[in-house]
Amino acid sequence: MQGTLYIVGTPIGNLEDLTPRAAAAFGSADFVAAEDTRVTLKLLNHLGLKKPMVSYYEHNLKERGDYILSRIEAGESCALCSDAGMPAISDPGEVIVRDALARGIRVAPVPGPSACVTALAVSGQATGRFVFEGFLPMNARQRRERLAALAGEERTVIFYEAPHKLRATLADLAAAFGPERGVTLARELTKLHEEVDKTTLGAAAAHYAENAPRGEYVLVMEGAAAPAPEAVSLQEAAQRARRLIEEGLSPTAAAKQAAAGTPYSKSEVYRLLAREGET
């Protein structure tokens, strides 16, 4: 019988965030696939476990993935982890999960913390709808295009950033979305120097122009404001509806179209039309 690929979340800083299920998954797996075996060795030592390990990182995803999946098909179980957080989230994992599912291999989640959701939860920004952008591209043209694509994004936007690139990224974000746009910098989450700073892009860019960024950061940016409803009077909306009726629309359809994007409902426009028709 073939084994299972376990996708195991590990702490993003505080070792106490390692779940009992994650410890059990490492304990019962036949082998561990790790982004960096030296990092994971420390975790396994902390748990008092000795396990055969294979490395699975950005530059060997395809051939090492095939090797890992062949072992699982032959009956072994594998616990896959990255250096911190959930595998496959801006970390190796996406490719092997897709390939495992394509080969009919069972993939089981062993969830743990992820910096993006952890930062969002304490950001003070809107959490109902959000997009995860991960790391912005380094290539200048791709970066410009990505930022342009986010221009009207009304959902909260989450970015990852390395400390040595934070200054440049804050400057690019302030230029793209304006210095007044809200942002929360969630730094060193769950660690000794944890800090959550709810500020604006302009203020953050100015702060880090003077102070060196330290540690790991998630940026949780406020979404764009929804466009204000058009400033039209009810009479103007009714006039628009009359023109649409002249163009051949039914009164109901005309009222609906004329009311779109205004503060008025279809029925308000329709009622005014009907009243004016009576006089």
Of the pair 82, 123, the CB lying nearest ligand SAM is at 82
Query: Shortest gap between Cβ of 186 and ligand SAM (angstroms)?
Result: 6
Asked whether the beta carbons of 86 and 7 are under 8 A apart, the reply is: yes
Which of 113, 90, 127 lies closest to 221 in space, CA to CA?
127
Which of 73, 23, 72 lies closest to 51 in space, CA to CA?
23
Residues 99-118 that bind ligand SAM (CB under 6 A): 114-116
Stretches 16-24, 61-69, 165-173, 184-192: which one binds ligand SAM (CB under 6 A)? Answer: 184-192
Residues 217-236 that bind ligand SAM (CB under 6 A): 217-218
Q: Which amino acid is at 7?
A: I
List C-alpha distances in Å: 195 to 119, 191, 213, 266. 10, 9, 12, 49
Half-sphere exposure of 215 (CA within 13 A, CB side): 18
Q: Which amino acid is at 62?
A: K
Which of 118, 68, 115 lies closest to 91 in space, CA to CA?
115
Contact with ligand SAM (CB under 6 A): which of 6, 56, 160, 208?
A: 160
Query: Shortest gap between Cβ of 86 and ligand SAM (angstroms)?
Result: 4
Work out whether 19 is an interface residue with ligand SAM (CB under 6 A).
Answer: no
Work out whether 162 is an interface residue with ligand SAM (CB under 6 A).
Answer: yes
Distance CA 134, CA 111 (A): 19
Q: Which residue is nearest to ligand SAM (CB)?
A: 85
Query: Shortest gap between Cβ of 35 and ligand SAM (angstroms)?
Result: 9
Of the pair 114, 262, the CB lying nearest ligand SAM is at 114
Work out whether 97 is an interface residue with ligand SAM (CB under 6 A).
Answer: no
By CB under 6 A, name the binding residues for ligand SAM.
Answer: 12-13, 82, 84-86, 89-91, 114-116, 160-162, 186-191, 216-218
